[in-house]
Amino acid sequence: MSQARVVRAPRGPERSAQSWGAEGALRMLHNNLDPEVAERPEDLVVYGGNGRAARDWRSFDAIVESLRSMGPEDTLLVQSGKPVGVLRTHDMAPRVLIANANIVPKWATPEHFRELEDLGLTMYGQMTAGSWIYIGTQGILQGTYATFAEVGKQHFDGTLAGRWVLTAGLGGMGGAQPLAVTGNGGAALCIEVDPWRARRRLEHGYLDEIADSLDDGLDRVTRAAAEGRALSVAVVGNAADVFPELVRRGVTPDVVTDQTSAHDALNGYVPGAMTLDEALELRRAKPKEYVDRSMASMAVHCQAMLDLQRFGSVVFDYGNGLRGQARDAGVADAFGYPGFVLAYVRPLFSRGSGPFRWACLSGDPADLAATDEAVLSAFPDDDGLQRWVRFAREHVKGQGLPARICWLGYGQRQVAGLAFDDLVARGILRAPVAIGRDHLDAGSVASPERETEGMRDGSDAIADWPLLNALVNTASGASWVSIHHGGGVGIGKSIHAGQVVVAEGTASSRRRVELVLTNDPATGVIRHADAGYDIALDTARDVGVTMPLEPGTHPPAWQA
């Protein structure tokens, strides 16, 4: 039974832990479960259907007590949301090491995972839920904004103005899509099965309107597109019902994607042809039947997207596992439309560019304003970054601790991090800054249906890379490091790693910030250079990333 308790991050310059590394982890753990941030904080669920910050409340309390009582040279080990040990290490070591849902490959199936979860032996950490660096819907917003900007660039003369986008899912990740579309000038029709989620996005400023019906929503969005107005409208309904209905009507959006929690057939996705209340009762009473109906609905949902593509829509997968689930449910050509990384993001990854995010541990909005200014000052010639930060300042409503995200490349991240560290050292910020990123990054993920789909050398499923990334970040002095299984695509389908480093304004933290924020993106450059991407090869040469065996010396099969 869920405990009725409200969790919010401590604020201010005074810490309750013996180091800022531990204090930063403690505050970000709390921030993940802030009611402004989490989807179901009473169940420790942050986002993504079942992505938890801790295994249970007893484990949460033990983590908090450990972080407060451990010494400044201790390291806490967290096994799938449960603290299992505190070990003496050293000042440069991470204060926390986290592993979530990592199952030996032969047993890495959703069914086996649920059995282990029911026994209380593991938990699903999603990406940034179980690694304590989720910052609300904003956390995915900039990447989504950049993706839709690239859609406009590739297909519509550089803008989405005059175009409309059909999508679904307004949860912790999908909730970023309406604002990302309107930020690029377009109109968005967002299908969401849960009225509460639609209202939440409206209240938080990510969504403009909620329509009374599908007809009403279509009318609002198509009129806005015809007039060249940016507008986002939600329709309360199920994508598995609405998408096929649009096919039947012959309605063809300009762009179609989806961000329902399709990776989790039990706890994330809602089957079609039933009310939300009926679905929740079926999930509770007959989980096997629920999963079967979810899978069947995903097949219908995906087939509708394939049909819309055939009718002329630009269609892409937004990394939620729908295509893989639909293929398993019998849609032979489920992968007939591309994933967003393959279609729009890989050149960024090849440069070591990715989602750089930070949270001001003081809780003071003035600290966020100062860090925004530091980023703008550090990169005055980066027009895209300048536009993004100003857009975010105007349109993004904060959730929990003041936080921001922007995409920075290799050679940029440590510049921003060191600027933050300097602000702390000079007393301009009231408290340190936790600097992290999404696990959806250049060198931190092996996910053949998302980040590593269609790698040039066929290395889609090689999971050495995220493991090396976690090891590098540990060796470089990150404040906490995590290795997860499953992420946004589901059990058996990805391995990914995360890091957070706290800028404390000391000589020691300056060293750690510089090493982590240099070496972390370097693994992305190396990973893509090794796969033969010219952009990454050029980047490696230009910035001096050392690769002992230059790609091509012993050519892989694709070069032979």
Q: Which residues are catalytic?
A: 406
Residue 192, token pair as written in the block? 């969401």
Distance (Å, whole) CA 155 – CA 276: 36
Continuous segment of H or E residues that includes residue 482: strand 480-485
Which residues sit opposite 445 in a β-bridge? 496
Distance (Å, whole) CA 194 – CA 268: 12
Continuous segment of H or E residues that includes residue 191: strand 187-192
Quickly list DSSP for 117-165.
HHTTS----TTTTTTT---STHHHHHHHHHHHHHHHHHHSTT--TT-EE
C-beta atoms surrounding 435 within 10 Å: 28
Which residues sit opposite 498 in a β-bridge? 482
Continuous segment of H or E residues that includes residue 479: none
Quickly list DSSP for 459-478.
-TT-THHHHHHHHHHHHHT-
Residue 10 near residue 30 (C-beta atoms within 8 A)? yes
Distance (Å, whole) CA 295 – CA 290: 9
Residue 514 near residue 418 (C-beta atoms within 8 A)? yes
Least Cα distance to 271 among 193, 351, 385, 369 occurs for 193
C-beta atoms surrounding 383 within 10 Å: 9
Distance (Å, whole) CA 183 – CA 161: 10
Continuous segment of H or E residues that includes residue 485: strand 480-485
**Ranges of H-type helices in 204-286:** 214-226, 239-249, 276-285
Distance (Å, whole) CA 315 – CA 422: 44
Least Cα distance to 197 among 320, 36, 39 occurs for 39
Least Cα distance to 21 among 434, 310, 398 occurs for 434
> Distance of CA 302 to CAs 290, 291, 308, Å?
18, 16, 10
One-letter amino acid of 124: Y
Distance (Å, whole) CA 133 – CA 343: 27
HSE-up of 95 (CA within 13 Å, CB side)? 26
Distance (Å, whole) CA 169 – CA 52: 19
